[in-house]
Amino acid sequence: MSILLLGANGQLGRTFLAQGGLAARGALLVASRDGMLTDGARGEIADLAAPASLPALLDRLRPDLIVNAAAYTAVDRAEQEEPLAMRVNAEAVSVIGRWAAAHGTQVIHYSTDYVFDGAQPQPYTIDAPVAPLGAYGRSKLAGEQALRDSGADHLILRTAWVYAAHGQNFLRTMLRVGAEREELRVVDDQHGAPTDTGLIVRASLAALDRWRPADAAQRKQLGGTHHLVASGATTWHGFATATFEQALAQGLIDRAPRVLPISSAEFPTPAKRPAWSLLDNSDFQRQFEFALPDWRTGLEEVMGELVRHADGAS
């Protein structure tokens, strides 16, 4: 099997490469926007901001499976760059889906909790009504719809509050800012389940192993949209507090700042965030027989990874 990983330099793409699971399942081709990888190696060039360029790449590589870990994820900037967000998150996905449908290629694609408005006080099921609040959510929803409409054999995996030991994310921002300040003010009225990329990768591979070799009827039943998030719930304030507690416990920091809870109104942003971002992951766990642990498990693992990196650098 030939596998094409798009977005190899992103948080999720880098974790796919680090864990090696895709390479163990087939001949792995990796692509980034400029063809350069974070380790200095060269890969394929796949610029999703230029959707018209993608068919030539796909015609040349002829992958059996496309794992699309690439996306426009600048939530606030998307309010001013919606056309660009749409090209990357929707138009490019449409091109990929139509090519895949024409060539019998399967697609794994990642979406977001931002397709929902966050107004309901219980976890969103996969078939709950969608109503994105901003440009980013609209672009990701359009990408979902485009992939479904393409006719390609696909998995759409919605996730939320994604973070890793690398890249730009909430956890790394908290550790950086916390080292500079005695006190932080963090939003405490937005609810979700922080989900580390290691869990996303392991769960994606488990889903792939059940979905791809299945017969047509079972593959249709297993395919479509699923919610891939850690279990449990917290707020951004709760996530920040737990981050510093874990960092102290594992010796990554010597002191923790005070973390004060504030409302979303006290921390205005260009894009409105869903107040309730919890996704019901029971369908994923049942269909793919893969347990999605509490978010604190992933936090402990990621913190351990940061400690190992720090020890290696010292």
Q: Tell me the residue ranges of DSSP E strands in 197-270.
A: 224-227, 234-235, 258-262
Task: Report the helix count and the strand count for the chain, using DSSP H and E.
Answer: 11, 13
Catalytic residue among 114, 124, 136, 163: 136
Active site residue 124: no
User: How far apart (Å, rounded) are the C-alpha atoms in residues 228 and 156?
Assistant: 9
User: How far apart (Å, rounded) are the C-alpha atoms in residues 61 and 2?
Assistant: 9
CB atoms inside a 10 Å sphere around CB 149: 12
CB atoms inside a 10 Å sphere around CB 276: 19
Burial annotation 5-26 (CB, 10 A radius, 16+ → b, else e): bbbbbbbbbbbbbbeebbeeee
Instruction: Please name which of 211, 54, 75 lies closest in space to residue 132, comparing C-alpha atoms.
Output: 75
Catalytic (active-site) positions: 136
